[in-house]
């Protein structure tokens, strides 16, 4: 008996492929509700790392995690005081300051949009060079025309992993979080100060190193170098380059300087410490700030945290800047007199006979 193939039934319904759910990509943009609002706050790098660690260790699908509270103090006739207080139950907050004061930058919508992206599940990124044929292996498959001719046009790239994009609620306030000066903030600053002191390489001094001197070098001159003839000209000796000291020693020297004067120009510190200017400025930025206006513009002054650790108050020192020694390469006129005296020894008295 011969099997007869059944007739293929054609669906007469006019349905577009875009209307079928199984062909629709799950790349819709997630929009928040119209009434939702959010704050955009600039925080320190340490706080951002702590919150990122909390977010990473939180299971997917759980309720939003409360990392702190936002408190607003309102008094009639005064601007609102807004603070953030971190939750103590997270170990990531143990070393951070507990309270932060918010300095408002904008209180209305300012065309700022925040969004997030994540990879859709079930997709895998193509490894770099995965399509290239390895040397010494048997070819497998037919390469595409771009691999055969190498005429890939600009703008043609391999398909990336589909992303799922979500918009954050509308931003109505922008602020900067600054730690409040209390016991926790001082402990945090002291910890950073100790880490900066102990970081980097250290210099070890040894008393067991002896240097061998030859007979001639022990006296500072070589054989045949002594002469009674004066030099015709005095050559200017090159300035000795300053040897960079350790960071801990430089910090101690800077603290001693600020215990004498409140304001220090960078040139005065370079003359006092005999260190490279770039090295002084790098360490100085950790304990002091540059004065931008006023009578002492262009100088440096200790910041409040460093002055508190050194127990220095504004009334303890007179408000004045450290003096700068005038060092110039031009002579004052005395050098010419000294050169003339040296040249006198080279002339001889000649008797004139007529």
- CA 316, 318, 319: angle at the middle one, nearest 5? 120
pTM as predicted: 0.41
Which domains does the chain show, CATH number per domain?
A: 25-59+67-119+166-180 (no CATH), 247-309 (1.10.10.10)
Output the tens digit of pLDDT for each of the chain's 354 residues. Answer: 556 666 666 565 666 655 555 555 556 778 888 888 888 999 999 999 999 999 888 887 778 889 999 899 888 888 888 999 999 899 999 989 999 999 998 888 888 888 888 777 776 655 544 444 444 554 555 666 666 666 666 655 555 677 788 888 989 889 999 999 999 989 999 988 888 888 767 777 777 655 554 555 444 444 444 555 555 556 666 555 667 888 888 888 888 888 888 888 888 888 888 888 888 888 888 888 888 888 888 898 888 888 877 777 766 777 788 888 764 444 444 444 444 444 444 455 555 554
The length of the chain, given as a count of residues:
354
Give the list of residues 6+ apart from residue 90 with CB closer than 8 angstroms, or none.
Answer: 50, 54, 67
Number of neighbouring beta carbons within 10 Å of residue 282:
12
SS3 182: coil
- Classify the phi-psi angles of 147: left when phi > 0, otherwise alpha if psi is within -120 to 50, otherwise beta: alpha
Q: Produce one character per residue of 303-320: b if its CB has 16 or more CB atoms within 10 Å, e if not.
A: eebbbeeeebeeeeeeee
């Amino acid at each position: 008996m011969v099997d007869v193939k059944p007739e293929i039934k054609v669906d007469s319904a006019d349905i577009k492929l875009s209307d079928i759910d199984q062909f629709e990509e799950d790349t819709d943009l997630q929009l928040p509700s119209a009434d939702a609002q959010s704050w955009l706050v600039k925080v320190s790098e340490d706080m951002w790392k702590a919150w990122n660690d909390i977010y990473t260790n939180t299971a997917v699908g759980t309720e939003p995690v409360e990392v702190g509270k936002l408190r607003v103090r309102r008094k009639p006739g005064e601007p609102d005081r807004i603070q953030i207080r971190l939750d103590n139950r997270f170990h990531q907050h143990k070393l951070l300051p507990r309270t932060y004061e918010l300095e408002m930058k904008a209180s209305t919508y300012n065309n700022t949009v925040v969004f997030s992206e994540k990879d859709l599940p079930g997709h895998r990124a193509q490894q770099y060079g995965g399509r290239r044929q390895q040397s010494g292996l048997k070819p497998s498959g037919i390469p595409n025309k771009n691999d055969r001719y190498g005429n890939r046009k600009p703008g043609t790239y391999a398909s990336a992993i589909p992303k799922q994009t979500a918009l954050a609620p509308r931003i109505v306030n922008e602020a900067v979080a600054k730690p409040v000066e209390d016991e926790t903030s001082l402990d945090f600053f002291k910890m950073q100060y100790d880490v900066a002191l102990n970081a980097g390489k250290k210099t070890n001094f040894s008393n067991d190193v002896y240097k061998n001197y030859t007979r001639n070098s022990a006296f500072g001159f070589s054989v045949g170098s002594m002469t009674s003839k004066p030099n015709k000209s005095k050559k200017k000796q090159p300035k000795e380059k300053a040897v960079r000291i350790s960071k801990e020693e430089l910090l101690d020297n800077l603290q001693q300087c600020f215990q004498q004067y409140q304001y220090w120009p960078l040139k005065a510190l370079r003359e006092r410490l005999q260190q490279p200017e770039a090295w002084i400025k790098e360490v100085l930025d950790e304990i002091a700030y540059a004065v931008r206006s006023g009578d002492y513009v262009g100088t440096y002054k200790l910041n409040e945290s460093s002055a508190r650790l050194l127990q220095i108050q504004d009334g303890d020192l007179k408000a004045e800047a450290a003096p700068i020694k005038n060092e110039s390469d031009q002579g004052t006129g005395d050098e010419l007199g000294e050169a003339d005296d040296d040249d006198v020894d080279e002339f001889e008295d000649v008797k004139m006979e007529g």
